[in-house]
Amino acid sequence: MAEARQIQDEMPKAYEPANTEQKWYRFWTERSYFTPEIDPEKKPFVIIMPLPNVTGELHIGHVLYVTLQDIMTRWHRMMGEPALWLPGVDHAGIATQVVVERQLAAEGTDRYQLGREKLLERIYRWTERCRKIITEQHSRLGASCDWSREYFTLDEGPSLAVRTVFVNLYNKGLIYRGERIINWCPRCATALSDLEVEHKDMQGSLWYVRYPFADGDGFITVATTRPETILGDTAVAVNPGDERFKSVIGKKVILPAVNREIEIIADDAVDLEFGTGAVKITPAHDPVDFEVAQRHGLEFINILNPDATMNENAGPYVGMDRYACREAIVADLEKDGLLEKIEPYANAVGHCLRCQTTIEPLVSEQWFVKIEPLVRPAIDAVRDGRITIIPSHFAKVYLNWMENIRDWCISRQIWWGHRIPVWYCRDCGELTVAVDEPETCGKCKSKNIEQDPDMLDTWFSSALVTHSTLGWPGDTEDLRYFYPTSVMETAYDILPFWVARMIMMGLEDVDDIPFHTVYLHGLVRDDTGDKISKVRGNVLDPIDVLEQYGTDALRYSIIAGTSAGTDSKLSVSKLEAGRNFANKLWNATRFVVRSIDGGQAGMDIKKDSLPVEDRWILSRLNRTVSSVDKLLGDFQFSEAQRQIYEFLWSEYCDWYIELAKIRLNSPDKEVPSPLPVLVHVLETALRLLHPCMPFITEELWQNLKRRLPEGWQPTESIMIAPYPEYDTEVIDPEAERIMESIIEIVRSIRNARSQYNVDNSRWVEAQVYAGELEPFITPYSRAMETLARARPVTVYNTGQESQAGENSLVLVLKETEVVIPMESMVDLEAEKKRLEKELERNQTEVGRLESRLQDKAFLEKAPAAVIDKERQKRDTLTDKIERLKQQLLKY
């Protein structure tokens, strides 16, 4: 055996992440470790990966969710659960089309010139490229997701699910087509849902415009932030309770610019505080006005073309861009004396989330989901605790959003995505809504039918992924076994976009919640707290970072200091800490491995005759195991990682290994070998750390395994080895108490050395008054000498008087006292000379001050303040001289 060990390859001096990582990722995938086995006896652990958009490469923010989900998945897998982490990508409708359209613009063309088919081809090529990059990046990050089940939202399965849901909801009356005010992006030329609009505070103006009465004298003044919409006004409204306008209700006014007659109406929706209290009503371009118009039966006049130029309803302004029209109207109003005043006005203006163009609210015929019946069960699922949201205050955000939700506009006038499964009959006008493409009209059997040209909102398909990716609407084994999933881990900012809709659709389609727990993470910021974004130029490419620091260091640093729902900071110092930790583990393992290769005895731990430090490290290991297990169960990943780090770095490397070295180097053959415990603790702690830092733990674990007796750890990889379990039997409070005291003693001597700048080559002396701990601590006096550079360290019990001379440093610790004679830290002769010299210098100075203060000329001429100052100086120095004399008495 000893010979066999000699021929092992030596571990290289330094850790090189690059080669190691790729080697192990291949090893894992070749053995299909990421694909769970369906075992009806066991409860699976399931995460559906939140879909990265195929809009480009991953950025550092993605590293956070990959790491969090990988930690959870690896942990559950090691606990013996069939663990499925299902990866996929989202076709991301508008977002992707906008990216490709930008490329077209750079080439001097656009989607209209290219045509629908060519554009789709082009987008498809782009998404293929992105998918490849995203997959590659996930692999580099160590993601243990099941690539054999990877999906794309436009695949046949998820597409069938989309059409099935549309038809089901339509048949239940929960999908309808109607005219509503929607958010229109003139650049994308499509409707957007409320969630796709970003509101930005802008400094604009409030124009006060006079509308003359039709019957002659006077006018009523209204205020507006968008004067061009005057062209679409069909009424002026006042609040019925507003005394100022009681007498004008029912009167007619002339609409400026187009000279159309409109009526003054009264409606409760009018805010008395806004502008003059009288407002213009533009039903086709404002959601509030739309509702007012419905109540009063007003006309709807749309004044905009899809590209935000003015249409034929705009009279003299037809064909103008919306902003050119605004200028023209304002100029005309001014000319006609109808512009009363302009005030600066700050308001929130909606912008397209994807292309940042200012959106226009306008009335349009679109497809909607009637949300109310879907919302109730989704609210109940969170209220009654079937679904837990972490952190819990986001449950309020969720409920509040759900209570105020409006019908969901699901049609988009784009070309990339799932097409609406509705066919219109050109002969009878009937709609045919079908899962599979129909050949004829459902009513008159005419073949003259045409599919709706619009696409579905991308979130319509994303809302289904918890079941569409498991085979729904089919009744598949995957669906039966893996649904409902366990955890939905995603960013808090898409709680309403996505999480809420998954809950609604899961309950609707499968009649069960889609997941038990929602874990929300925050944004990743740089070390100054700025959001990481391309605009700020602080984007870190994850591949660059992991090549520089190693993937494990990147994973370590992105988790360190994070908690659910809060933003986290990534800094170079954290990355360095991660890399240092990896190197520390490497060196520690290398030491252990070399000790094994050195041909030490067997690996059995002889539990009944263990030295105190062995009992201590085993006890501490198990306390850490117990605590980490609880923390991971509570989703406290950062704290779990920190505790493993502290245990390995401080207790194992800094103390246990140092103590073990003393035993290994001892010429005394009776001293028991620390090797069995050294190996056992390291191997266990590597498994404990594996979910956080998968690559280096595998590499180190394999280096150990190769050197240990066959069957010692039966699995062929750390990632399928069992997660450490808490063993109460080795908890040893007595060993912990003794070791804590020893560590405290060594630390206090080290601190004293550094406080007195004791040269490294100098040995200090220490007396330890250990009371009742004396018999336990005495055996460690040699070890403490080595660790603290103190010789001799003499341990006394309570019965013995303190030997502290007058010139000693006394350190009072928790249970013991340490006395260090000053002469062992500093050179007494030299110190005496130094003190004498200083005394002499001070005495000369006092003499000089005294003679000055007796000089009559000085006392008469100098200002009182100066004399006072000289007296103070003398007093201070006299005082100091006394103290120096006292100190010198000791020598």
Could you list the residues that contact Zn ion (CB under 5 A)? 185, 187-188, 352, 355, 357, 425, 427-428, 430, 441, 443-444, 446
Q: CB of 368: closest distance to Zn ion in angstroms?
A: 20
Q: CB of 106: closest distance to Zn ion in angstroms?
A: 17
| Closer residue to Zn ion in complex, CB, 187/386 | 187
Q: CB of 192: closest distance to Zn ion in angstroms?
A: 7
Cα→Cα distances 596→11, 610, 763, 885, Å: 12, 19, 32, 60
Q: Please give the Cα distance from 381 to 503 (Å, whole number).
A: 8
Q: CB of 109: closest distance to Zn ion in angstroms?
A: 18
| Closer residue to Zn ion in complex, CB, 443/607 | 443
Phi, psi of 637, rounded to the nearest 5 degrees: -70, -40
| Closer residue to Zn ion in complex, CB, 415/776 | 415
The amino acid occupying position 418 is H
Residue 324: name the closest of 335, 310, 343 by CA: 310
With b meaning 16 or more CB within 10 Å and e meaning fewer, what string describes 503-536? Answer: bbbbbbbbeebbbebbbbbbbbbbeeeeebeeee
Q: Which helix (H) or strand (E) holds 744?
A: helix 733-755
| Closer residue to Zn ion in complex, CB, 356/566 | 356
- The β-bridge partners of 819 are 767, 810
| Closer residue to Zn ion in complex, CB, 431/605 | 431
Q: CB of 113: closest distance to Zn ion in angstroms?
A: 19
Q: Say which residue the tokens 């690896």 belong to.
A: 74
| Closer residue to Zn ion in complex, CB, 81/196 | 196
The tokens of 141 are what?
Answer: 């990050």
Q: CB of 430: closest distance to Zn ion in angstroms?
A: 5
Q: CB of 58: closest distance to Zn ion in angstroms?
A: 24
Q: Which helix (H) or strand (E) holds 834?
A: helix 828-854
**How many of the other CB atoms lie within 10 Å of CB of 748?**
21
- The β-bridge partners of 310 are 304
Q: Say which residue the tokens 């170079």 belong to.
A: 572
Q: Please give the Cα distance from 165 to 742 (Å, whole number).
A: 68
Q: Please give the Cα distance from 727 to 348 (Å, whole number).
A: 60
Cα→Cα distances 368→182, 588, 850, Å: 11, 62, 98
| Closer residue to Zn ion in complex, CB, 79/189 | 189
Q: CB of 355: closest distance to Zn ion in angstroms?
A: 3
Q: Are 252 and 237 in contact (CB under 8 A)?
A: no
Q: Please give the Cα distance from 870 to 739 (Å, whole number).
A: 57
| Closer residue to Zn ion in complex, CB, 200/848 | 200
Q: CB of 423: closest distance to Zn ion in angstroms?
A: 9
Residue 758: name the closest of 836, 825, 677, 852 by CA: 825
- The β-bridge partners of 191 are 184
Rg (CA), the chain: 39
Q: Are 96 and 52 in contact (CB under 8 A)?
A: no
| Closer residue to Zn ion in complex, CB, 443/834 | 443
Q: CB of 443: closest distance to Zn ion in angstroms?
A: 5
| Closer residue to Zn ion in complex, CB, 185/314 | 185
- The β-bridge partners of 304 are 310
Q: Say which residue the tokens 């029912």 belong to.
A: 250
| Closer residue to Zn ion in complex, CB, 110/427 | 427
Cα→Cα distances 342→143, 236, 348, 357, Å: 58, 19, 18, 25
| Closer residue to Zn ion in complex, CB, 183/816 | 183
| Closer residue to Zn ion in complex, CB, 444/859 | 444
Q: CB of 190: closest distance to Zn ion in angstroms?
A: 7
Q: Are 788 and 780 in contact (CB under 8 A)?
A: no
Q: CB of 359: closest distance to Zn ion in angstroms?
A: 8
Check residue 181 and report its DSSP letter. E
Check residue 321 and report its DSSP letter. B
| Closer residue to Zn ion in complex, CB, 268/450 | 450
| Closer residue to Zn ion in complex, CB, 188/375 | 188
Q: CB of 623: closest distance to Zn ion in angstroms?
A: 56
Mapped onto helix, strand or coil, the DSSP state of residue 427 is: coil
Q: CB of 361: closest distance to Zn ion in angstroms?
A: 14
Q: Are 464 and 158 in contact (CB under 8 A)?
A: yes
Torsion angle defined by CA atoms of residues 738, 740, 741 and 742, in that order, rounded to the nearest 10 degrees: 90
Residue 381, by phi and psi: left (phi above 0), alpha (psi -120 to 50) or beta? Answer: alpha
Strands 88-89 and 151-152: parallel
Q: CB of 101: closest distance to Zn ion in angstroms?
A: 10
Q: Please give the Cα distance from 48 to 564 (Å, whole number).
A: 18
